[in-house]
Structure 1
Amino acid sequence: MQQTRVVVVGSANMDLVATASALPRPGETVLGDDFVMVPGGKGANQAIAAARAGASAAFLGAIGSDAFGVTLRARINAAGVDTGQLRVVYGTSGVALVMVSADGENAILVTPGANAAFTELTEGELAAVREADVLVAQLEIPVATVTEAVLAARAAGTRVVLNAAPARQVPDELLAAVDMLVVNENEAQAFTGRGRDDPSALLALAPRAVLTLGAEGAWYVERGTEAVYVPAVRVDAVDSTAAGDAFTAALAVAWGEGRDLLAAVRWAAAAGAACVRRLGASVALPQRAEIDELHARSA
């Protein structure tokens, strides 16, 4: 089978991850347990996840001229992702401060750094988008850049998966060009005013959508059909930080490979479950064999 070509346009951050028995409340200091520094950012995570899930993946984004930028490029490249179009912007790279509790819940603060300067796509970047089977985008970079990439993909007949996170105001022309929308419950509430009680409300935004519910599974909705609930794959959770990124990337890969969309969502659910078994973002993203194993177990 020929590899699916997945191009991810999005953010790259250095994740500074601290673990503790419980997350601190506002004004509270909590003694932590451990600390790791891990390359992340939703864009970089999804590019790495797509490569590990079996795609030929390329990443379009921006890193800083600092030491974090050097590490980010090296780690993304080491995962088998094409970084030939990755920009270097003078200044700091994006940074995410991540706190993780003993039960796998997390709180994240992101400072965009170079990601904020990722604007006006070059002809080389646009060519990469046009040549892809699937374009994957998120909202951690300027919305105008996401819109430019998505419209270029639509014009070229490239499928578009938008992980609309974090929830932000977006132009109608962006949503009109999206083939598949992926959001969690908070994002669904922000965009439609409805959560898990009405996943079909997302169909006012895109022709197909997935509403992810973490350990409680996901809803898949498509215009003209009934909503379908997809249960989560049960695992012992350690850190849920990049689970949504693993899910979104695996969904794009499976769809690009020609799988039935509901089957693609089920395989993506296995990818998300495989991811939460390890601490960190990019280091926790599963290989294809791990996804297949969990998917087979849940079938």
Structure 2
Amino acid sequence: MISVFGSANMDLVAYVSEAPKRGETVTGHHFRTIPGGKGANQAIAAARAGARVAFLGAAGDDAFGAEMRATLAEAGVDVRGLRQVPGPSGIAHIVVDDAGGNSIVVVPGANGTVTGPSADDLAVIAASQALLLQLELPLEAVVEAARGARAAGVPVFLTPAPARPLPEELLDAVTTIVPNEHEAAAITGVAGVDAALDALLERVEEAVITLGSQGALFGSRSGERLRVPSVPVKAVDTTAAGDTFVGALAVARSEGRAMADALTFASAAAALSVQREGASTSMPAREEIDRQVS
């Protein structure tokens, strides 16, 4: 089982030919509300990629919260750890342009009430084969969950987004950090992905830097280095590509696959996701990923 301690947001997605500049108004060509949030996205991605998944987080007592709970459950995710709190659920306002690029504003809502994992949450984490974390919950809660996993010998995958300075007490508990190239630069203050990878490995055991259409770069403190190319596709919407990658990567690693195979599996999943609109709606099933890599 994989546990995910993270955010659940309703994505409010506007599709436009070209994203507006500051002070500019543009006309979009359509709009969708799609359950998302980096935590919920990763949970759904891992479930569709073949794992048993438990989601730990919070949603509001509004209609968005009810829809997010139903969407997770329909994907096969155990939602007993998704607590309901008074007030609004988290939302993400997303603008997607015709090239598939996006810009996102997140309003935490119920996610901001998660000040730490409960005793039940820690028990679920301790029984997991991997814990997935992101930074859309309060930082102190993320640190506590990571430390709980580490104490139980559970590998911790951290997506450091939104990018921010990371305390050593968090990084000491992380097994694998998975930033994109912009997040890696922001975290390390180092330009260039190879140099950023070296800087990350001074602080964590393993790092994977995702590079969009250029694939992914992996390194470990043992000296292993891998560069995995992306699958060439025409992107429609890249919103959940990183979350899909991480969810699939954790599944492959929990199945005992070598890192090279796990990265290929994760890259295939991400390539499938960017060919579809939305976050949770874009994530591929296990059969699709297996066909892509065969």
**1:40 matched to which residue of 2?**
36
Q: Give 1:205 shift.
A: 2.0
**Structure 2: distance between partners of 1:161 and 1:290:** 24
Identify the match of residue 24 of structure 1 among 15, 20, 23: 20
Pair 1:142-2:153 in alignment: no
Match of 1:265 among 263, 266, 287: 263
2:51 to 52, 55, 58: 55
- In the alignment, does 2:121 pair up with 1:121? no
Secondary structure of 2:28's counterpart equals coil
Structure 1, unaligned stretches of length 5 or more? none
* Match runs of 1:224-263 below 5 Å: 224-263=222-261
Q: Where in structure 2 are there 5+ consecutive unaligned residues?
A: none
Instruction: Give the distance between the partners of 1:242 and 1:80, measured in 2 at CA.
Output: 18
CA deviation vs aligned residue, 1:213-254 (integer Å, no higher than 9, x gap): 111111011113253211101112100000000000011000
Number of the residue aligned with 2:150: 154
The alignment partner of 2:179 has SS state of: strand
Q: CA deviation at 1:201?
A: 2.1
1:112 lines up with 2:84 in the alignment:
no
Partners of 1:200 and 1:275 lie apart in 2 by 29
Q: Partner residue of 1:218?
A: 216
Report how far residue 197 of structure 1 moved: 4.2
Deviations 1:95-124 (A, max 9, x none): 000100101000111100000001132111
Alpha-carbon distance in 2 for matches of 1:197, 1:26: 33
Cα deviation digits, residues 131-162 of structure 1 (max 9, x gap): 00000000010111111111111111111111
Aligned equivalents of 2:165 and 2:187: distance in 1?
8
TM-score by length of 2: 0.97
3-state secondary structure, aligned to 2:80: coil
Residue 49 of structure 1 aligns with an amino acid whose one-letter code is A
* TM-fit CA distance, 1:43: 0.1
Deviations 1:179-233, CA, capped at 9 Å, x for gaps: 1010001110111122424222210121110000111111011113253211101
Counterparts in 2 of 1:227 and 1:200: CA distance versus 1, 3 Å? farther
Q: Is the CA contact 1:233–1:294 (under 8 Å) kept in the aligned structure 2?
A: no
1:10 aligns with 2:6: yes
Q: In structure 2, how many angstroms separate the alpha carbons of the residues matched to 1:93 and 1:134? A: 26
Contact 2:178-2:209 within 8 A present in 1 as well: yes
- Structure 2 CA distance, aligned partners of 1:153 and 1:291? 28
Identify the residue that residue 277 of structure 2 maps to in structure 1.
Answer: 279
Q: Residue by residue, what CA displacement relative to the aligned partner does 1:238-280 show, whole Å, maximum 9, x if unpaired?
A: 0000000000001100000000012111111111111101000
The sequence identity of aligned pairs, in percent, is: 52
Which ranges of 4 or more aligned residues in structure 1 deviate by more than 4 Å? none
Confirm or deny that 1:181 pairs with 2:177: yes
- Return the alpha-carbon distance in structure 2 between the equivalents of residues 164 and 246 of structure 1: 15
- Whether 2:275 is the aligned partner of 1:293: answer no
What whole-Å deviation, never above 9, does each CA across 1:23-82 have from its counterpart, x for those lacking one? 111111111111111000000000000000000001001000111111111111111000
Which of 75, 78, 81 aligns to 1:82? It is: 78
Q: Read off the aligned partner of 2:213 and give its amino acid letter.
A: A
Distance in 2 separating the partners of 1:164 and 1:110: 15
1:132 is aligned, of 128, 135, 144, to 128
Letter paired with 1:115: N
Q: CA deviation at 1:166?
A: 1.0
Residues 200 and 227, structure 1, Cα contact 8 Å, conserved in 2: no
- The question of 1:69 aligning with 2:65 is answered yes
CA contact (8 A) 1:41 1:96 kept: yes
1:165 to 161, 164, 169: 161
Query: What is the aligned length?
Result: 292
